[in-house]
Structures are given as structure tokens and as C-alpha cells.
Structure 1
Amino acid sequence: MGFFQKAKKFLKETKSELKKVNWPNKQQLITYTGVVFMTVALVGVYFWILDTGFLGIIQLIIN
């Protein structure tokens, strides 16, 4: 089986598998996107607070 035949078979199988996927509807997509953004924001704020705290501790040690 040549390269192009393998590529064609791969794409055909991929298309078949994509049809089996249970895609979220619009409302689910909006909800899941909001959850992801909020999680990223909360984790970012958590690490910012942690970083600021460590910076303060290190500055106290150095000075």
C-alpha cells in the first residue's frame, strides 16, 4: 500500500470516527468555555498571590 493510499485510508477512517463524536450543543459549549475561563483565572490569581507572597518573604530575607 503506497503513501497516498495510506493517507486516503487514514482520512476516511478519521472522518468516520468524527461522525461518532458526541459534540456539545451551543449552550453546553458556552457553559464549558465559561468554566475553563473561570478556572484559568482562579488558578492565575492563586499563583499571583503565591508569587507575591514568596517575593515578599525573599525580600525580607535579602534586606
Structure 2
Amino acid sequence: MASGVKNTGKFLRDVGREMKRVTWPTRKELIKYTGVVLATVFFISIFFAVVDLGLSTLVRTFLD
């Protein structure tokens, strides 16, 4: 059981060391990346909505 606590402590120290090495984005970069993600989600949702509408219309045409 003691080795588990030892391993946990080492893991947390290693995580702390790695977090200091991380290059965090600037505020400007973060806003830019967020805009890219939101635009991508918007366009993909519109694409799938159009495809869904087209397919459902096609299926309704064949079933009626």
C-alpha cells in the first residue's frame, strides 16, 4: 500500500514539472482558436442539417 502512495506522489511531482513546460496560448491566440472552433462547429452543424433534410425528403418521397 505504501508504494501506491509513493507512486502517486511521484506522479503528481512529474505532472507539476510538465505543467511548467507547457506553452500556454496568449489571450489573442485563445480568442482566435475559439473563433475557429465555433465557426467549424457552426458550418458542420449546418452541413449535417442540410444533409438530414435532403435524406429525410428523399426517404419520404420513396415511402409515400
With the shorter chain as reference, the TM-score category is over 0.9
Question: Over aligned residue pairs, what C-alpha RMSD do you find?
Answer: 0.9
Q: What is the TM-score with the length of structure 1 in the denominator?
A: 0.95
State yes or no: 1:54 paired with 2:55. yes
* Matching residue's letter, 1:21: V
What is the distance in 2 between the residues matched to 1:43 and 1:58?
A: 22
Poorly superposed stretches of 4+, deviation over 4 Å: none
Identity of aligned residues (%): 32
**Unpaired runs of 5+ in structure 2?**
none
Pairing 1:1-63 to 2, within 5 Å after superposition: 2-63=3-64
**Unpaired runs of 5+ in structure 1?**
none
Q: What is the TM-score with the length of structure 2 in the denominator?
A: 0.94
Residue 24 of structure 1 aligns to a residue whose secondary structure is: coil
Length, aligned pairs only: 63
